[in-house]
């Protein structure tokens, strides 16, 4: 019997990340999720996954804090060893985001840097370092947005970072392809989750 694949999902304690984690578990995969502040919500997702007969773990990660990545990666390596007796995993889903609607003329340098750290810089280097722990024939999924293809006022900085992710993903696919690792972008339109449900309900144009 084949061993379960192990997936890592950033921002897996709520919204789309939670849904991805549960669906992967339903398909027989084990999951490591990250959370920023709500440890209880993350533990609830772990419990729901393990109730389905697969294994899961939750690790804290603030993707806005780029300097926290080295310690986080050590925690991933330790968790793989202690829980699975492995040094590698199979899938990486870069999902963690922040949501904020800021008109272009109101974006500050601080806003720009925060969005860049969360949506591009941390994804870039987390992916780079994760490839050292990823099995051949692995999978990388980067979550983007429909606003890279159509314009919605207030999303200039968010969409710009996601546009960078889409270009980056092409290069990862090219350079990691020799190992049989694929890299793809998933760019959903508006989806009502606990992350953005009020915005969707209150905007009939979405």
Active site residues: 158
Interatomic CA distance for residues 7 and 140, integer angstroms: 10
Which tokens go with 156?
């200039």
- Bridge-based pairing state of the strands 30-35 and 56-60: parallel
Interatomic CA distance for residues 7 and 34, integer angstroms: 11
Locate the DSSP E strands across the chain. 6-9, 30-35, 56-60, 89-94, 134-143, 182-186
- Bridge-based pairing state of the strands 134-143 and 182-186: parallel
Strand order in the sheet with 89-94: 56-60, 30-35, 6-9, 89-94, 134-143, 182-186
**Phi, psi at residue 98, to the nearest 5°?**
-120, 150
Interatomic CA distance for residues 60 and 165, integer angstroms: 23
């Amino acid at each position: 019997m084949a061993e379960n694949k192990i997936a890592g999902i950033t921002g897996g304690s709520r919204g789309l990340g939670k849904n991805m984690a549960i669906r992967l578990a339903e398909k027989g995969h084990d999951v490591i999720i990250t959370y920023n502040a709500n440890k209880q919500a993350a533990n609830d997702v772990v419990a729901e996954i393990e109730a389905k007969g697969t294994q899961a773990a939750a690790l804290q990660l603030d993707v806005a804090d780029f300097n926290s990545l080295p310690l986080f990666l050590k925690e991933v390596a330790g968790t793989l060893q202690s829980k699975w007796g492995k040094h590698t995993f199979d899938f990486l889903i870069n999902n963690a985001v922040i949501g904020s609607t800021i008109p272009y003329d109101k974006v500050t340098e601080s806003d720009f840097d925060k969005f860049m750290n969360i949506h591009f810089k941390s994804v870039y280097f987390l992916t780079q370092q994760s490839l050292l722990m990823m099995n051949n024939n692995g999978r990388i999924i980067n979550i983007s947005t429909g606003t890279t293809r159509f314009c919605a006022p207030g999303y200039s900085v968010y969409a710009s970072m996601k546009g960078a992710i889409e270009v980056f993903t092409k290069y990862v696919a090219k350079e990691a392809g020799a190992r049989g690792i694929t890299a793809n972008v998933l760019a959903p339109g508006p989806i009502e989750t606990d992350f953005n449900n009020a915005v969707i309900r209150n905007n009939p144009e979405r």
